[in-house]
Chain A
């Protein structure tokens, strides 16, 4: 397998040293250069042609956002943003501008920080490397925020739509939610692999484009039809109760699945158990194979299943795994996923 050539960009010597240290120990990853500012980064990308760039946001001379724009415009390098916990807005903006993925700058003390970087950063770099350069920027028109729909207080949902996504997921979710109608019979549950502190922000974004309430899930929270829920960081999310009755969210720390908490499998499997034929499972872009078996469980329980297609996936890992084991009934480009979800909900009603 080819070695992933990485350029590390950060204005802090400490951070540069930590990143290169961590990456030095990672197999198939080579740090080919470091840069201390946006200007240096742009020049280094040009000269070194790295596969992946880890990019800081706050830097002298030219900040990470501007450097990101130029790197994406002028090279094939995939960019992983290093962001801080209190700035989800900028992070989502970076994703819109063509960053493939992002991780949080660790802040739990040195030993933990290094351990965490060793896992998160290496994972993000591999995922970014797996993404095709041409998928970094959206060629389709940006999502228009929906007009808020009148939201009447819904009751327990008759149906659930459970969506799992990872690398490239935040933008994919934007597009899906923009195309959803508030279906007063269904609730929408999302597991997106995110660092701590980002679920609430993602929920707010999705609410904005969808025009119906989307919130960060809490343990024991009642699930209401016509609303969306995003799994928080650090716990698996499951759905409990049954169609139309006492539907609620259960959050449990549990062991990591595929190295992930939350993972998509527990949500999709619980939906298969509790909602059976009235469950819709969706697996969007992402590295790895999370949610494939969950999706299969829904299909086997008689529910409906959708996977994002290869052409529009930033990383066709999770959807591919689902397709491979025969879990996906429908494979659709991202702009058709919402349509397929609506069709599935209609099918469910009629069938």
Chain B
């Protein structure tokens, strides 16, 4: 078994698994820093270092094994409370993690440049300090310390209920007790710990913890454990020992009840057999993204070929052929869905690198802030996700550097001195909204408006036609920056144009919302996937166009709704009373040679983008179809309002309308 291929495969597993552990270490350290009294993350760091040590040993990566060994030893001293968690300690371990990341890359590729020895020494020194302190503490006088600490601690009694579906209630209970021991001293349980261990409790047990932590913290910690249904504080006593624990009053189960319960339990075990991860279930294959890209291309071609086949079938109209083609349709649709699914990854995969970055940045800039990350399970196409990293870095940097005021300014304004920066993802129809928000000073719309006018980007008279949000988007104009910000190293405006361009290039849109004094929100609205979309095919002046179905709200016959004119421009009055501009498709894509009136259109397609709507007149509808987006080239490359082209079933080319661009001109109504 010295097959090169296997070796390479193991190396891949090693690399991706160590990346996970490294991320886990960083996450845990940051959690630890936010609450240095709760030692749960210390366990995670210790375990990760230990696992990395074992793995690198197995691979024969001696330097990595040595560095992780010293990290493990250091964390062991923290775990045993031989030294407190300090900013310095977290710093040194974070730096060790950086070294480790570099070292793993080098050692795994056979390189010898990275020498961890200095880092190893530094970690050893930190470990030694703790050992000396522990030795000191072991001397007789030290026994006073814990007693003094205990005097301040109260006893909190929690009632904890395990989910009824839980197969291993005693195991979960063990985890609850273990977690609570990280937060204090477990002084008693009802029923006894032995009974709980034997599973001799009816889903609910109480546990008393001597701790200086608030009861809610304990409750939160316990609720975070899998299969814990509820946890609540039943008693909180300031003095240790004064807590009265009342046993839950429950009738003794009769023998028959017990037998029945046993039978239920056995039945439940039978089901459990399916839930346990079998070898086959847990096996994964790692595929290079290039393979997936290729698969998407091929599936795209399959979709096109399928459409052509469907066209031909329509003409022949043979029953058997129809059935077979329908089958092909179903199968290829399934294949397509699966392939696209393989490209979807949780945004957390990328978001998880930000807490560390935000921490370092906040430290550098002397800002005190809390960083929240939400919606990490939301999935997004891998390519889209990769592309938005840079824009997000920029937006986060902006929020921390310029959005958040200094602590004294915040305090003076009556805000909490600790700032808040939030990064979140949410699914909305076929789009994912990624938001970077802060609770800082906000942006001054009037100042931006004046700057926009001064630069000739807007006419003073237009002020009333523009919303605040529109005005904020002026900050995304290249070179735009307000006087106040220009004095800083990097103003709000710098780089925002790049952010917007990148988001739009991905088929997304950027929106800014801000209220002076209470914060700013940047919302990236992104497509789930890039390659294949559902589209409405229409024709206009002999061309076929594809309109992404996500933007289409309604398709009307021309005389379904009343058409009128406002300022000589045709408008459509919707059922809800809104009046929206009506244009021919030719006009909106700027290919309107005949200058036809939309009045001659046979159908009207109603598009909505965000809160805006507009009506597009077309010569006719072709149908609804999945299309594969190919980039535009040649004569159409610069045409406004088009985002790409696609090849149709009959081999002809359809242009894809970019609904976002249709709404960017400000002609649309709200």
Contacts and interface: CB of A to CB of B under 8 A. Distances in A.
Interface of A: 11-15, 17-18, 20-21, 25, 31-36, 38-40, 42-44, 46-48, 58-62, 66, 70, 84, 86, 105-115, 118
A123 to B, nearest CB: 17
Given A33-B279, A60-B47, 15 more contacts: A14-B14, A14-B17, A31-B279, A36-B277, A42-B171, A43-B171, A43-B275, A47-B276, A48-B273, A59-B47, A61-B175, A66-B174, A70-B170, A84-B53, A110-B58
Q: B51, B53, B55 — which one has the most chain A CB atoms within 10 A of its CB?
A: B51
Nearest to A57: B50
Contact of B273 (A35, A47, A106): A47
B662 to A, nearest CB: 48
B1 A106 contact: no
B14 A114 contact: no
Contacts of B269: 46-47
Contacts of B167: 43, 46
Contacts of A66: 174
Contacts, number: 118
B647 to A, nearest CB: 42
Given A33-B279, A44-B277, A110 B59 contact: yes
Interface in B35-55: 44, 46-47, 50-51, 53-55
Interface residues of B, number: 41
6 contacts: A13-B17, A14-B13, A34-B278, A58-B51, A61-B175, A110-B59
Contacts of B277: 33-36, 40, 44
Given A11-B51, A43-B168, A47-B272, A113 B278 contact: no
A11 B60 contact: no
A14 B279 contact: no
B10 A14 contact: yes
Contacts of A112: 60
Given A48-B276, A106-B58, A107-B57, A13 B50 contact: no
Top 5 closest A-B pairs, CB basis? A109-B60, A107-B57, A47-B273, A47-B276, A58-B50
Nearest to B225: A61
B129 interface: no
B34 interface: no
B10 A17 contact: yes
A95 B50 CA distance: 21
Nearest to B14: A14
A190 to B, nearest CB: 28
B7 interface: yes
Q: Is the interface of B mostly helix, strand, loop or mixed?
A: helix
B58 A113 contact: yes
A13 B11 CA distance: 12
B65 interface: yes
A209 B2 CA distance: 45
Given A34-B277, A46-B272, A58-B47, A110 B10 contact: yes
Nearest to A35: B277
Q: What secondary structure prevails in chain A residues at the interface with B?
A: helix
Contacts of B226: 39
Contacts of A115: 1
A159 B6 CA distance: 54
A44 B276 contact: yes
Interface of B: 1-2, 6-7, 10-11, 13-14, 17, 44, 46-47, 50-51, 53-55, 57-60, 65, 69, 167-168, 170-172, 174-175, 178, 226, 269, 272-273, 275-279, 282
A100 B272 CA distance: 27
B491 to A, nearest CB: 45
A51 B10 CA distance: 28
Q: Which of B54, B175, B178 has the most CB of A within 10 A?
A: B54
B477 to A, nearest CB: 48
A47 B276 CA distance: 7
Contacts of A33: 276-279
Contacts of A58: 46-47, 50-51
Contacts of A20: 279
B180 to A, nearest CB: 15
B633 to A, nearest CB: 44
| Best-surrounded residue of A46, A47, A108 (most CB of chain B within 10 A) | A47
Given A32-B279, A110-B60, A14 B171 contact: no
Contacts of B282: 34, 36
B51 A12 contact: yes
A11 B1 CA distance: 24
Contacts of A32: 278-279
Nearest to B24: A60
Given A46-B167, A107-B65, A111-B1, A14 B58 contact: yes
B171 A62 contact: yes
Contacts of A13: 13, 17
A34 B279 contact: yes
A66 B173 CA distance: 13
B13 A17 contact: yes
Contact of A110 (B7, B53, B168, B275): B7
Contacts of A17: 10, 13
Contact of B55 (A12, A39, A108, A111): A12
Contact of B47 (A11, A31, A35, A48): A11
A267 B350 CA distance: 60
B59 A39 contact: no
Contacts of B47: 11, 58-60
Given A33-B279, A110-B10, A70 B171 contact: yes
A107 B7 contact: no
Contacts of B10: 14, 17-18, 110
Given A12-B51, A17-B13, A32-B279, A105 B171 contact: no
Contacts of B273: 47-48
B489 to A, nearest CB: 43
A112 B58 CA distance: 9
A211 to B, nearest CB: 26
A81 to B, nearest CB: 13
A92 B10 CA distance: 31
A106 B54 CA distance: 8
Nearest to A17: B13
A15 B279 contact: no
Given A17-B10, A58-B47, A109-B59, A12 B276 contact: no
A15 B167 CA distance: 27
Contacts of B174: 62, 66
Nearest to A30: B279
Contacts of B54: 12, 15, 84, 105, 107
A62 B175 contact: yes
Contacts of A105: 54, 57-58
Given A12-B51, A35-B277, A47-B272, A111 B58 contact: no
Nearest to B60: A109
A31 to B, nearest CB: 6
